Structure 1
């Protein structure tokens, strides 16, 4: 049976759904973030009379959107809430986290709490999903998927050398796998190659429907230009969105992970792009030393790509 595994990393928790040696889905959470299903208390600081929406303030000063408020809710009252969506940074704007009164929210399971904790995820499992999100591209036989996170929707373009119908059908399985790998939600636009005949478009619709049968969503039929829109529940930033809006932070966390996974004695030498230096918080460096039991030396190399941090052991 598929099983969720969770790796509690430095500055990041990583969860993957494994079926044997196959990754079915992946999720990422950064400590301190509000997440869907979390129980919190917030003071109602703004609400228009008769409306069911308002703004709340947490004890640490963060602001949260609240919907489904009772019409008689009073400003200044402290309310028990359940988070329905974490905060999402987008290019040019910031979406506040959202919540509902606890008695109006549908209970949500927390994968990170229920997954089996492991010291390390299997070799290559997290790297495959992370590298795909970082590059924004997944290749498959005869073509590739190109991902772009925009404020309006996540756009997926399909390109390749196969005839349109064959290319579209070949893209279905890697596409549906990527949706789960990246933990995508919200509005997703898929630009398939243009298929002139209705039977061809219907075949792609049926294949896509079968592949996504166990993934809650709504979907349009393919139009004459090959476009399909999917809408799925959005609970927080996807791995793809983190790469688009917090690339340095994501790369810094991966650099620490690479250093932590090295076994042996000596000193850890972590070589990074200079842009990552400020992202390696002092407490993260201290945690890496504690976990590995080795001193840490960090050096910078402007010739390295941001994502290409390198860790090795050196003699003390």
Structure 2
């Protein structure tokens, strides 16, 4: 049976749903974030109709909706987070919540009770991370290009196959990477233009089957090859994090690489200059505690931001 596993990393909690060593879904949480499924008692600060803002115990404001008619400003209510905070180009979106009494079912993180492991199977997290970093996924005959915008995430399909074959080859990859990137919200898929209704229907049918286990709503393909998917957005996807916090993502990956190297001596972590300010003393101290080795940080302007390296070097007594 597929199983959620987590790595409790330095500065982040990484989660994978694994079937053996095959990843089915991924998730990422940074400490201090308010995330979907969290319940809190908060004061209703402002109310306009069924919407308003409430104060989280952390002091931060949270957008709320589905408020009952008799809800009063200044009163305390039990809320559940439906979407974490989102940073987008040029703006910051507050977390969103609803009164617990209005929510049917659960909003909890499916990886909340995952099994903790020291490390995932070799290369699995790295492959997903690099794909999210580049925004490109290759498959036989083509590729998917992902672009995050404030309005939606766009998926463009490119390749050398004939349009029908390329579209059908892309469908299972789209279904796979939606969950590996932890995507939600509004998602637009730009398929190659298909001239006949029968071809468009074939792709629609393949997409329906491939996404049967993915909770969403979807439009039929229009004459220009565009399909829109809407799925529950519970927080920033891996693609969103790279779009708004690339240096933070790269700094945490640098620490992961340093934590994973083994052997006696000292850890030499070499990073792009932009990463050095993000590697604070608390993170370095935690890295030394976990590895039982001293850590040296070197700067190399020739490295890409995502290309930090870690190795064991002799320990200077």
Following TM superposition, by how much is the alpha carbon of 1:112 offset from its aligned partner in structure 2, in angstroms?
3.1
Match of 1:99 among 97, 100, 106: 97
Structure 2 gap ranges (5+):
none
**2:18 corresponding residue in structure 1:** 18
Once residues 142 and 28 of structure 2 are traced to their aligned partners in structure 1, the CA distance between those partners, rounded to angstroms, is: 28
Once residues 122 and 79 of structure 2 are traced to their aligned partners in structure 1, the CA distance between those partners, rounded to angstroms, is: 39
**1:223 corresponding residue in structure 2:** 222
- The DSSP-based 3-state class of the residue aligned with 1:246 is helix
Once residues 77 and 286 of structure 2 are traced to their aligned partners in structure 1, the CA distance between those partners, rounded to angstroms, is: 36
- The DSSP-based 3-state class of the residue aligned with 1:113 is coil
**2:68 corresponding residue in structure 1:** 70
Structure 1 gap ranges (5+):
none
Following TM superposition, by how much is the alpha carbon of 1:210 offset from its aligned partner in structure 2, in angstroms?
0.5
**2:307 corresponding residue in structure 1:** 308
**2:213 corresponding residue in structure 1:** 214
TM-score, length basis structure 1: 0.97
Once residues 250 and 60 of structure 2 are traced to their aligned partners in structure 1, the CA distance between those partners, rounded to angstroms, is: 26
- The DSSP-based 3-state class of the residue aligned with 1:111 is coil
Once residues 203 and 113 of structure 1 are traced to their aligned partners in structure 2, the CA distance between those partners, rounded to angstroms, is: 38
Once residues 128 and 283 of structure 1 are traced to their aligned partners in structure 2, the CA distance between those partners, rounded to angstroms, is: 28
Alignment of 1:1-316 (within 5 A): 1-48=1-48, 51-106=49-104, 107-316=106-315
Following TM superposition, by how much is the alpha carbon of 1:111 offset from its aligned partner in structure 2, in angstroms?
2.5
Alignment deviations for residues 49-108 of structure 1 (CA, whole Å, 9 cap, x no partner) = xx1111112233211001111222222222221111100111111111011112222322
Once residues 215 and 308 of structure 1 are traced to their aligned partners in structure 2, the CA distance between those partners, rounded to angstroms, is: 33
Once residues 117 and 294 of structure 2 are traced to their aligned partners in structure 1, the CA distance between those partners, rounded to angstroms, is: 24
Following TM superposition, by how much is the alpha carbon of 1:281 offset from its aligned partner in structure 2, in angstroms?
2.2
- The DSSP-based 3-state class of the residue aligned with 2:215 is coil
Following TM superposition, by how much is the alpha carbon of 1:312 offset from its aligned partner in structure 2, in angstroms?
0.5
Once residues 231 and 101 of structure 2 are traced to their aligned partners in structure 1, the CA distance between those partners, rounded to angstroms, is: 23
**CA contact 1:15–1:111 (8 Å) conserved in 2:** no
Alignment deviations for residues 192-214 of structure 1 (CA, whole Å, 9 cap, x no partner) = 00010111111111111110001
Once residues 138 and 205 of structure 1 are traced to their aligned partners in structure 2, the CA distance between those partners, rounded to angstroms, is: 21
Once residues 232 and 37 of structure 2 are traced to their aligned partners in structure 1, the CA distance between those partners, rounded to angstroms, is: 13
- The DSSP-based 3-state class of the residue aligned with 1:284 is helix
Once residues 98 and 57 of structure 2 are traced to their aligned partners in structure 1, the CA distance between those partners, rounded to angstroms, is: 17
Q: Which runs of 4+ in 1 moved over 3 A?
A: none
Following TM superposition, by how much is the alpha carbon of 1:39 offset from its aligned partner in structure 2, in angstroms?
1.0
Once residues 58 and 27 of structure 1 are traced to their aligned partners in structure 2, the CA distance between those partners, rounded to angstroms, is: 24
Once residues 207 and 71 of structure 2 are traced to their aligned partners in structure 1, the CA distance between those partners, rounded to angstroms, is: 44
- The DSSP-based 3-state class of the residue aligned with 1:210 is helix
Once residues 286 and 44 of structure 1 are traced to their aligned partners in structure 2, the CA distance between those partners, rounded to angstroms, is: 40
Once residues 34 and 60 of structure 1 are traced to their aligned partners in structure 2, the CA distance between those partners, rounded to angstroms, is: 9
Following TM superposition, by how much is the alpha carbon of 1:113 offset from its aligned partner in structure 2, in angstroms?
2.0
Once residues 80 and 34 of structure 1 are traced to their aligned partners in structure 2, the CA distance between those partners, rounded to angstroms, is: 15
Between 298-307 and 99-108, report the one with greater CA deviation.
99-108
Alignment deviations for residues 259-294 of structure 1 (CA, whole Å, 9 cap, x no partner) = 001111110000001101111122111111110000
TM-score, length basis structure 2: 0.97
**CA contact 1:7–1:121 (8 Å) conserved in 2:** yes
Once residues 179 and 214 of structure 1 are traced to their aligned partners in structure 2, the CA distance between those partners, rounded to angstroms, is: 11
